[in-house]
Structure 1
Amino acid sequence: NSFDRWGNRFTVYNNDYLRNIVIEDRYLASNPYLAVTKSYRSVSGLDHAAEIYPVTVDPLVIHDSQIGHFTSACGMSIYTGGILPDNFEGNSLTCEPVNNLIRRSIVKPEGASFLAEPAYDHKEFLASKDSWFRPVFTTTGPDGAVYIADYYRFTVEHPEFVPPELSKQIEFEARHKLGRIYRLTHDGSKPWPKVDLSQASTAELVKNLEHPGSWQRLESQRLLMDRRDKAAVEPLLAMAKQSANSVARVHALWSLDGLGALDDALILAALSDPEPEARRQAVRMAETRLPDPALAKALLAMSDEKSSRVQAQLVMTLSLEGAGVATKDSFPLARKIVAEHMEDEWFRIAALTGAADDAGLWFASLTGDSALMASRSDGKADLLRRTAAILGAKQDVAAMTKALQTVQRAGKPEQSWWRVAALEGLGQGVDQAASKGLKLGPAQPVLLDILANADPAVAQAALELAWRAQLAPGPAVDRLIAAKTKTAFDTDADVAQRAAAAGVLGLRVDQGAAQDLVKLLAPQQPAEVQKAAMQAIATGKDPTLTPMLLERWRELPAPVRAIALGWFMNDRDRILALLNAVGDGAIQAWSLGPNAARVLERHPDAEIKKRAGEVLVSTEAADRQKVYEDYLAAVRENGDAGRGREVFRAQCSECHKVEDMGFALGPDLYSVTTRYKEVLLADILMPNTAVETGYEEYMVETKDGRMITGVLAKETPASVTIRQAKGVEDNVLRSNIEKMYSLSVSPMPEGFEDEISVDQMADLIAFIKSLRS
């Protein structure tokens, strides 16, 4: 973590050399129904590891090219020392020890966050020819200089990430006491003199708040808070009102707040400060004093605020739980700001942090704005989807009914995009809610009408909502099911219409439609119809489905079997039935696939784990080291990257994303391109030897009986996001979590030797290595 002079927080992670925390958890906690997958922005603006420019001569470790990507970003700091040239202030410095360099970036405000641009074209701030140079930490010292910690080692790789035969060649502790600290200054700069601030007078500490160096300012403010000397109040008041230094004015205001001497008049004045970041801080200061009428009025009067970052803070502050500003007063301002920044996701999220009780108002305002809804954009669709999801997660039937009526009335083709977004959001919200089986009441006839009469895309979104709710039996449902049953089995009907009709049968999967749906899982049926039927079946819990599906298991095509397997894996009794079928020889063990087999072999349920061990050919039983040694020939070959691309597409793209291929479940492959070929081979064949932090597999048991496995992609105060293969994400509200625990394994399965030959492995590794350029 590092902070700029205004207190903005920045972090770093492996291949992402700079991140900004945009929305703090305390704002997200205001709305327990809002599922958010992340609260940070990658400030580099890149989707994967940024390109770097090392100058290392005779590289001794992982990289074998002078051009690579960030793989070990760490030790980041924001320079705030005040003695380097002005254009250094607020710049970021990020270490890349594997490639022997430090990146300097210029950080500028952009929207609700920031954007970082490299300070130099095709070169780095600091790069060494010495391959032992390992910068791992930077900071601004009290004298204003930059301090750099150099680990100075032959290798920075942890032994557990290096294959055994390479470990024998590397002396990890060789000359391990050669680390050093560098002090970096500028030829024309004069260091700040050494001072003992503990001996400074209160007046001197206050004066220090105007110091150009952040260490002096922060230490002086800390000491003022420690001393609690009331003699500081008057000079602080004078500084807050009269100082020409905007940073000092903010320090003075927060110091007065810490001493209990900050009055509302000072905050009101600061809301008009010429410096945008000072205004943003003033908005934050007002939070603990709302709903003070004068402050609330002043905040609401900032409708003409020009700074995007101040606007974002206004929305978050007015949305904060306990702020106490009436919705009728705060909503118009938030709505105006969001409309101005519709394509910035952080403004959309910020606005909805305060919509726990006002999602209906947001929905009505958005859909009622004909000019806004006249054309589609990703931002508009996302905001409407998130808004509707809050209604669904809260299970506010009255508000849901109004929303559905709005969707029902909008029948023009150009309105389909937002009708789909609204229905998708309602369905996602209902699915995330802690209690299941939502009875739609007055919303049901509206939803049925949409199902029966809307265009295919809208009807499909309505169907997915209906699957997640609990429809009450009645003549209207009977008529719909009867009509769709006829269409589903009509071999002369359009295949897309048949598939859509099969999906509707899922509304009665637990009330008698199961047998009809299973009949559609026949080789004579089109693949689209079979898939739709299986998706409909997967919405049910009828125990009679289990034997029917196991009976047809062998004839299910792979895409349909994958859906069926997911359904079995979500329930304890179904898992045991599946394993018993394997044990009885009714289905083949291989058809479960390595991912499911690995989860079952390590399952926390003792009975499931025991039965899996009895009937599955354990991948753990194989000698992984021997498999690795058998494939070492692949690293000695010069593989073909073009052929390797196709191997990646076939075997790896479900869990890794490269260019326009695949899904981001596992680590970013751009961050591993500079590893030894032997290391990459071990990563592929022995994935559980060293599971990278943040990529271990978790299991979440929900209160409604689901068992969800995948990578823990994001946690917020209100929800967790579990990411699975093919990019599928499950946002689970914390209120719906019964248990959550790590399975202590990688989501990457073992057993790729059954799918990839030695030659194909050489091609795959060549493709991964080629991603650097």
Structure 2
Amino acid sequence: MSPAEAVKRMTVPEGFRVTVFAAEPDLVQPIAMTTDDRGRLWVIESLTYPTWQTNNLPGLDRVVIFEDKDGDGRSDSKRVFLDKGRNLTGIEIGFGGVWLCSAPELIFVPDRNGDDQPDGPPEVALDGWSLEAKHNIVNGLAWGPDGWLYGCHGILSDSKVGRPGTPPAERVVLNCGIWRYHPTKKLAEVVAHGMTNPWGIAFDDHGQLIVANCVIKHLFHVIPGAHYERMYGQDINPYAFDLIKSCADHIHWAGGFWDTEGAERPQNDAFGGGHSHCGAMVYLGDNWPDRYRNGFFTLNVHGHRINHDRLERRGSGYVGKHEPDMLKANDPWFRGVLLLYGPDGGVFMSDWCDGGECHDYDDIHRENGRVYKISYGTPKHMPVDLAKLSDADLVKLQVHKNDWFVSHARRLLQERAARGKLDSQTLASLRRLLLVQTDVTRKLRVIWALHAVGVLESPSELGGRKFLGSRDDWVRAWTIQLVLDDRKVTFGVLEKLIELASKDPSPVVRLALAASLQRPPIDQDVGLHPHVLRMKSQREELRRRMQMPSDDWEYRLYTAEALLKHEEDAHDANLPSMIWYGIEPIISAGDTNLPPAFRAVEADARVLLTEGRIPLVRQLIARRLALRLALDPVADVLADSDDRGLQQDAVRGLFEALDGRRQITMPEEWRRAAAKLDRHPDAEVREKTLLLSVIFGDADAQATLRRRVADAAQSPPARQQALQALVQAKADGLLALLQSLVSDRTLRAVAIRGLAAFDEPATAKVILNDYAKLTSEEKADAINTLVSRPKWAVALLEGVKEGRLSAKDISPFAARQIQALKDARLEPLLAATLGQVRSVSQDKAAQVARYKRLLTPEALKRAEVSHGRALFKRTCGACHKMFDDGGTLAPELTGSGRSDLNYILENVLDPNAVLWNRYAATYFETSDDQLITGIVLQENESTVTIQTQTGTITLPRKDITSRTESKLSMMPEGLLDQLSEQEIVDLVAYLQSPAQVPLKQ
């Protein structure tokens, strides 16, 4: 529909109006936008997307400038600032030019005379941004209150970023997360890791970074140094362990649909429209009513609307509460990208204006694109040109209600200070302005301006220390962040920071201190605590080998020790994790190859473990020590302490680290600790203590588990868990027990899976003898065990030839596993029993057409959907979850585009067509000739944790003889080949069902 018709269809709250600010043919494919100091709108037109340009030839992207001269909400002029751009995905203006995300580079296009024409070729500020992902590469760009330029990065590829010429070892590595760049210091750093595909940065009234994220929850309060939950994969730091969750208490979709029909489905419509979000705005303008101030707004792509969340302070951070949607486009082609308020307080809203799903790369409509203006009533129009104002006028704007004026004026002051052009009275004016402020949000803006002009970074300036004593906790918190921005502070400031860690009553301040653990001061003499003095020489050797300055270690240690005594922070959403991220390098330091006499790390860890009052941190300290087998400090604490909470936390940490491992040397004090833990009132602690003793090779503990396995009076889960623990420990004499249990209905599933770990030729015969008695799930376990070793796979295929089992029982996944064994005996057997295992990619189109003839709307209406659920459970449920039922090996299907038959067929018939690395199969061969196929969940220096079709396996690295990463999905081709036509109809009908159905028995 036309832009004018689209506006008529939009619904907004009473009093608001929407105008077409710019549209096709003047504007196409608006991927990013910003405003300059005159209030003009600068827009990137992305004609490169979705095929990124990988050469250095002139590109297709443009940067265009729109201006509304009469204030009617419509652009009156357009001019092109830059054409022939490459891969442009983010824009910001400042410091005499235009900053552009132009992967693989962040570039600066100079325009120092402000004539809207580049002064010369782009200057490369950073390079190394990846172009591997088809969407959500480096993007964003927004000036932060601290004077840095912030940006986003998506999950699908890794970037290794630095200034041109930076050696690989010195580059910043990131995938999904937030980064920043300083325009005058030329520094780049990661702000936070995690989320999935962030696309939208905003700062709230207190300067907190708020990010819009796509796919998983949509709202994140981003703390410097944090690690956030991800859609998949291990965090960039394998020892981050506990990832901070989204601060939203809700999602914007329901009923299981993330596709383009989301907005039209009643379930999704009531909740907010769908899972896909783009653009972030915290409204701090002065046109919309005050009830919207400091609200978070994001564009719901599939919901064709603007979602609105209320930010409520909770503990050290926020919780995002759902508010009524701000706007509904009522247009299936509306694809909102960004929101941005301007000098009149009205909000610009960009619309990509296209059909199709998020990842529709084939049917791109490049001729469309719009920007709308959302205003309350008629905004006051006043021409502006802030660059022409005096320093004194820019200072006055620091307390303007519309933060557009505040942020632009602050950046101009920062530019002038950087050029040495700041008026001599400006600092005095800012200080006087600060003294008369009573509203903490206005105080913050003046402090940010002082920082922008370099005041809080000056070693001779005591303002930072004075602000640390402010009565306003937000002032204290921001001062901590700003004075450590360049990591150079006076001893007096450090002394005050450590004091605040101990005594400050505000969780907001303590969060800033926790974040500061990762930005310790460089080359400052902090002074030494008595227990530090005892280990000083050893710690100095550690620091030398780790290249960690002495003050780094001590600042982290003192500050964390004080923060960990705040028991009231135990359940805070951010503080426990942030403290852990800060002290993890200390706890991990013992990984450095040091003589056994060097026990500084263990001494520090013991202090933090015993004196800390935050359970999660104690648990993670124990876990990290156990992962590197520094078990004695934990065992010593458990043996000496009567603190039940500490015992519980430490045992949990030990078990998380050692579960699945075997033949671990028992710590010296473990028997004394275990005797005490056996009397713990918590059954979980007692059980984990027993299992840990098994891992440590305790014969008495193994005997206890054997008795439990044999005791029919015990519950089936208790017997199964006991047997699994013995399997993991590879207990002596276990093979015969497992073989005998294949006929035990309660324990045979665990026994069949456990037999895979023992290289015993008779195992195949034992399993095949009882195969006919097994349930369908147990048969799948049996086949997965038998295809893990060549000689067993031979017996399995011989069994098919002899009629002992059906060829249909061998799934395509199992067939591919047999091929991967690469045994000459297997290929002819496989062909004789299963036929040719071939790739379907070559004739996928023909197969899609054939199945479409089968899967007509009429056939699907007649399908038995409950039977389809049973088929899903058998063929797909080991890996995929749908409606909260199934495995986690592969993506959850509930919210996929499964209402589209094309989507289902393309993914089932050719699962390797679009393959995310997370879901590629990896083959592991062990020292006893077992082949294990799965997806790597976690890995560290000692173990690799693998998710297989039947469960999770932790492999000691010493047992792995080879590791091969496949280019194939864990999902094999040919899944439908083993089903009858009616079964295919029933399965697809279930895959398309809008709600869960009963399972056919």
The TM-score, its normalising length taken from structure 1, stands at 0.73
Q: Is the Cα contact below 8 Å between 1:546 and 1:577 reproduced in 2?
A: no
| Aligned pairs, number | 708
Give, in whole Å, the separation in 1 of the partners of 2:637 and 2:577.
Answer: 20
Deviations 1:344-366, CA, capped at 9 Å, x for gaps: 34322122223443543444346
Note the C-alpha offset of 1:25.
5.0
Q: 1:333 aligns with which of 558, 562, 565?
A: 562
2:82 matched residue in structure 1: none
Q: 2:212 aligns with which of 7, 11, 20?
A: 11
Structure-to-structure mapping, 1:599-678, within 5 angstroms: 618=837, 620-621=839-840, 624-625=847-848, 628-629=851-852, 631-633=854-856, 637-638=860-861, 653-657=877-881, 661-664=885-888, 666-672=890-896, 676-678=899-901
Give, in whole Å, the separation in 2 of the partners of 1:720 and 1:487.
Answer: 29
Deviations 1:459-507, CA, capped at 9 Å, x for gaps: 64245435655x4xxxxx5566567657756779887776566456548
1:552 matched residue in structure 2: 766
Closer, same or farther: CA 764–136 of 1 in aligned 2, 3 Å: same
Note the C-alpha offset of 1:333.
3.4
Q: Is the Cα contact below 8 Å between 2:334 and 2:352 reproduced in 1?
A: yes
Q: 2:634 aligns with which of 393, 400, 423?
A: 400
Aligned letter for 2:239? L
Q: 2:909 aligns with which of 676, 686, 700?
A: 686
Please give the secondary structure, in 2, of the residue aligned with 1:516: helix
More strand by share: 2
Structure-to-structure mapping, 1:129-168, within 5 angstroms: 129-141=330-342, 144-156=345-357, 158-159=359-360
Aligned letter for 2:736? D
Structure-to-structure mapping, 1:199-598, within 5 angstroms: 205-227=394-416, 228-230=418-420, 232=422, 235-236=426-427, 238-239=429-430, 242-243=433-434, 244=437, 245-257=442-454, 260-261=457-458, 263=460, 265-287=462-484, 288-289=487-488, 292-301=491-500, 303=502, 305-318=504-517, 323-325=552-554, 329-331=558-560, 333-337=562-566, 339-356=567-584, 357=587, 358-365=604-611, 380=615, 385-405=619-639, 422-430=650-658, 438-443=664-669, 445-446=671-672, 457-458=684-685, 460-462=687-689, 464-466=691-693, 471=697, 477=698, 502=723, 505-506=726-727, 509=730, 512-523=732-743, 525-528=744-747, 530-531=748-749, 533=751, 545-554=759-768, 555=770, 557=774, 576=790, 579=793, 581-582=795-796, 593-595=811-813, 597=815
Q: Is the Cα contact below 8 Å between 1:700 and 1:740 reproduced in 2?
A: yes
1:107 matched residue in structure 2: 311
Give, in whole Å, the separation in 2 of the partners of 1:308 and 1:731.
Answer: 41
Closer, same or farther: CA 159–422 of 1 in aligned 2, 3 Å: same
Closer, same or farther: CA 13–749 of 1 in aligned 2, 3 Å: farther
Note the C-alpha offset of 1:679.
4.1
Note the C-alpha offset of 1:427.
2.8
Q: Is the Cα contact below 8 Å between 2:317 and 2:573 reproduced in 1?
A: no
Please give the secondary structure, in 2, of the residue aligned with 1:104: strand
Identity of aligned residues (%): 17
Deviates more, 1:274-283 or 1:17-26: 17-26
Q: Is the Cα contact below 8 Å between 2:934 and 2:970 reproduced in 1?
A: no
Note the C-alpha offset of 1:10.
0.7
Q: Is the Cα contact below 8 Å between 2:263 and 2:274 reproduced in 1?
A: no
Aligned letter for 1:440? M
Closer, same or farther: CA 191–757 of 1 in aligned 2, 3 Å: farther
Q: Is the Cα contact below 8 Å between 1:315 and 1:351 reproduced in 2?
A: yes
Aligned letter for 1:465? L
**5+ residue gaps in structure 1?**
162-171, 370-378, 472-476
Deviations 1:126-161, CA, capped at 9 Å, x for gaps: 212333333233233465432222222344554569
Query: Relative contact order: is structure 1 or structure 2 higher (C-alpha 8 Å, sep ≥ 6)?
Result: 1
Give, in whole Å, the separation in 2 of the partners of 1:626 and 1:716.
Answer: 46
Please give the secondary structure, in 2, of the residue aligned with 1:178: coil
Q: 2:969 aligns with which of 697, 721, 745?
A: 745
More helix by share: 1
Give, in whole Å, the separation in 2 of the partners of 1:92 and 1:216.
Answer: 19
Give, in whole Å, the separation in 2 of the partners of 1:250 and 1:419.
Answer: 45
Closer, same or farther: CA 611–241 of 1 in aligned 2, 3 Å: farther
Note the C-alpha offset of 1:426.
0.8
Give, in whole Å, the separation in 2 of the partners of 1:500 and 1:50.
Answer: 36
Note the C-alpha offset of 1:70.
0.5
Give, in whole Å, the separation in 2 of the partners of 1:133 and 1:27.
Answer: 30
Deviations 1:572-596, CA, capped at 9 Å, x for gaps: xx55555555565589876664445
Q: Is the Cα contact below 8 Å between 1:424 and 1:462 reproduced in 2?
A: no
**5+ residue gaps in structure 2?**
1-199, 521-550, 588-603
Alignment partner of 1:36 is 2:263:
no
Note the C-alpha offset of 1:4.
1.0
Q: Is the Cα contact below 8 Å between 2:395 and 2:429 reproduced in 1?
A: no
1:767 matched residue in structure 2: 993
Deviations 1:412-460, CA, capped at 9 Å, x for gaps: xxx6x98666434213224699xx8642341554577689999975564
Please give the secondary structure, in 2, of the residue aligned with 1:181: strand
Deviates more, 1:645-654 or 1:311-320: 645-654
Note the C-alpha offset of 1:715.
11
Alignment partner of 1:696 is 2:916:
no
Give, in whole Å, the separation in 2 of the partners of 1:667 and 1:421.
Answer: 32
